Structure 1
Amino acid sequence: MRRIALSNGETVEVECLSCALTSGMIVPDGGTVLETEHFHTHQDVAYPIKGLIILASKRHIKCFDELTEEEKLDYITALSKIRAAQRKILGVEAVYYFYNEDTTHHFHTWMVPRYEWMYEFGRSVESVRPVLLHARNYMNDEKNRNAVIKVLRDLAEELN
């Protein structure tokens, strides 16, 4: 079991955070944004940035090449729909996508919208880590969390 601190201050003990999220055992702040046959979409619980989306496999796999053909199609379709909704709802023109295989969670892709305020940290992929840390350390207040949740609801409405 792992002990994980959520953005709302709660601490949970789970074997796998992704299993807990995709099964509904843990409901992330703002709830589920989009759910497909093979994927679950939610806000990253640690970084309160409007529209920062995690697209996670429901199946317990870690690598892109482990996806079935059906899952690959579901993945790219969901990814494209989410990006279109981010453009429409958030008005963002750039999104950083991250996927890594050395995670303790399921296969997942981070979709990090690029906002004007983020440019003070730089304009490259190297700036994303400082942006995420800034959000976690300085934007994790009730007002910003409420704004993040409103955006999540808007995205969910657009996607469903």
Structure 2
Amino acid sequence: MRKITLSNGQTVEVECLSCAVTSGLIEPDGGTVVETDYFHAHQDVAYPIPGLMILASKRHIKCFDELYEEEKADYIHILTKIRKAQRDVLGIENVYYFYNEDTTHHFHTWMVPRYEWMYEFGRSVESVRPVLLHARNEMNHEENLHKVMKAIDDLRNELRL
């Protein structure tokens, strides 16, 4: 078991944070945005950037090549559906996608929107970490968190259709 401090300050003890979130044991701030038989999407509000999504497999795997055929099809379908909603509802023109296999959690993809303010940190993959840290350290205030929660609601409503 690992002790993890969530973005709301609550401390939980879990084997795997992703398993706890995708199973509903832990409800992420803002709740689930969209869910399929194989995947769960939510905002990681520790990085308060409107439209930032985490798409996690419900099955505990670590690598893309471990996905079953039906999971692969579902992954592409839900990933593109979320991306379309980001563009249509939030006006997000560019997104960086990340997934890593040496994580302490299981398979999940980060969908990090690129807003104009982020370009002061650069336009390459190297700019993403400073952007995330800036958001966590400088944008974690009531006005911005309201924008994040509204984006969560807007995406959830769009993805219900």
What root-mean-square deviation, in Å, do the aligned CA atoms of Structure 1 and Structure 2 show?
0.9
Aligned residues: 160
CA–CA separation in structure 1 for the residues paired with 2:45 and 2:91: 22
The normalised TM-score by structure 1 is: 0.97
Of 24-33 and 135-144, the range deviating more from structure 2: 135-144
Of 39-48 and 77-86, the range deviating more from structure 2: 39-48
The residue aligned with 1:20 is 20
- 1:52/1:111 contact within 8 Å kept: yes
Gaps of 5+ in 2: none
Letter in structure 1 aligned against 2:47: Y
The residue aligned with 2:112 is 112
The residue aligned with 1:126 is 126
Gaps of 5+ in 1: none
2:32 aligned counterpart, secondary structure: coil
Identity %: 78
CA–CA separation in structure 1 for the residues paired with 2:122 and 2:83: 22
CA–CA separation in structure 2 for the residues paired with 1:134 and 1:108: 22
Structure 1 runs of 4+ with >2 Å offset: none
Letter in structure 1 aligned against 2:37: E
- 1:6/1:45 contact within 8 Å kept: no
Q: CA deviation at 1:104?
A: 1.1
The normalised TM-score by structure 2 is: 0.96
CA–CA separation in structure 1 for the residues paired with 2:92 and 2:45: 21
Matched, 1:33 2:33: yes
